């Protein structure tokens, strides 16, 4: 395309872009010119319209280019046309009419219910206070979907055994109540008994503590979760947030309403919770593709 060299010199000498960046712009434009010549013949700026740019974007998507790469190439083309407008070579910028592909949101990582059952029912966490505490931490995340900061901040008075409710303080100090069942109630009662015997002198009202009696901090809980999830899963991400995702996915798979899951997780918007519907749908597709004879 005419004037591409002038554009690259403009980036190089007037905008002071690095040589590596200039080369990237040049390669993006070269690819577009190559595509254009295959479709409309000899390329000039005046021959480029929005339809041609859209066809180029579609061709890149068909070649499974990442959304981020396509949007970067489109950005290079837009910069080029802004340069042409400034020079008076073209009267309009056709690239402004073309939207790049939306970046796909990464789906939440979660464990299967069978993996969680194996971890909570079959894995040996060790005897004594720390084994009891670590087991309860995993069970608490999985049974309530609470955030790491909420678990660390949990106080003794936040657990109401008679009403089977836990009060947590979430983002922006918003408080919510999370119900719990008999299994978690028994596990918490066992932990409190073991903790009070092993750590008689606690520094405050923290529910989860270290052997010194002090409240747990993030790094300790993250290590506990990572170490124990490694016993039952090969997923790369093994964090407390994975257990939060696992809770939400399990709830959805067992017919809980999305609005109820939103309230339990403390999400501001239902749109945030809806990501779990995509997760379960992707899992269904995977199962279908593996199991259906004509998939």
Instruction: Pick the catalytic residue from 25, 142, 191, 276.
Output: 276
Instruction: Pick the catalytic residue from 73, 244, 245, 262.
Output: 244
Answer whether 270's CB lies under 8 Å from 153's CB.
Answer: no
**Is residue 245 flagged as an active site residue?**
no
Instruction: Pick the catalytic residue from 12, 112, 210, 267.
Output: 267
Instruction: Pick the catalytic residue from 23, 104, 171, 227.
Output: 171
Instruction: Pick the catalytic residue from 147, 215, 245, 262.
Output: 147
DSSP for 6-45?
Answer: HHHHIIIIIS---HHHHHHHHHHHHHHHHHHHHHHSS--G
Q: What tokens were used for 192?
A: 């409190």
Return phi, psi of residue 179, to 5°: -75, 155
Long-range pairs of 188-195 with CB within 8 A, sequence gap ≥ 24: 188/136, 188/140, 188/159, 188/161, 189/161, 190/132, 190/136, 191/132, 191/133, 191/136, 194/128, 194/129, 194/132, 194/133, 195/129, 195/132, 195/133
**Is residue 276 flagged as an active site residue?**
yes
The helix or strand, by DSSP H or E, that contains position 51, with its residue range, turns out to be helix 50-62
CA distances from 166 to 161, 175, 205 (A): 8, 10, 15
**Is residue 244 flagged as an active site residue?**
yes
**Is residue 267 flagged as an active site residue?**
yes
Q: How far is 143 from 246, CA to CA, in rounded Å?
A: 9
Catalytic machinery residues: 147, 171, 241, 244, 267, 276
């Amino acid at each position: 395309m005419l004037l591409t060299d002038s554009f690259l010199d403009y980036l190089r000498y007037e905008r002071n872009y690095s040589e590596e960046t200039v080369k990237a712009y040049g390669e993006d434009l070269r690819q577009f010119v190559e595509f254009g010549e295959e479709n409309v013949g000899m390329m000039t700026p005046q021959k480029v319209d929005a339809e041609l740019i859209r066809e180029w974007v579609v061709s890149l998507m068909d070649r499974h280019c990442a959304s981020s790469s396509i949007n970067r190439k489109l950005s290079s083309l837009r910069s080029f046309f802004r340069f042409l407008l400034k020079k008076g070579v073209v009267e309009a910028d056709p690239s402004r009419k073309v939207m790049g592909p939306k970046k796909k949101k990464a789906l939440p990582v979660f464990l299967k219910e069978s993996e969680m059952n194996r971890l909570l029912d079959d894995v040996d966490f060790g005897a004594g206070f720390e084994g009891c505490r670590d087991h309860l931490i995993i069970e608490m995340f999985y049974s309530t979907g609470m955030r790491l900061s909420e678990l660390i901040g949990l106080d003794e008075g936040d657990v109401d055994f008679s009403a089977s409710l836990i009060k947590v303080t979430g983002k922006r100090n918003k408080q919510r109540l999370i119900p719990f069942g008999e299994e978690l109630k028994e596990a918490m009662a066992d932990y409190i008994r073991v903790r009070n015997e092993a750590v008689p002198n606690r520094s405050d009202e923290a529910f989860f503590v270290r052997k010194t009696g002090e409240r747990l901090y993030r790094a300790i809980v993250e290590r506990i979760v990572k170490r124990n999830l490694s016993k039952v899963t090969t997923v790369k991400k093994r964090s407390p947030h994975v257990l939060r995702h696992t809770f939400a996915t399990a709830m959805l798979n067992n017919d809980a309403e999305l609005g109820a899951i939103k309230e339990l997780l403390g999400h501001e918007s239902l749109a945030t919770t809806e990501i779990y519907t995509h997760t379960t749908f992707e899992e269904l597709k995977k199962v279908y593709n593996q199991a259906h004879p004509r998939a």
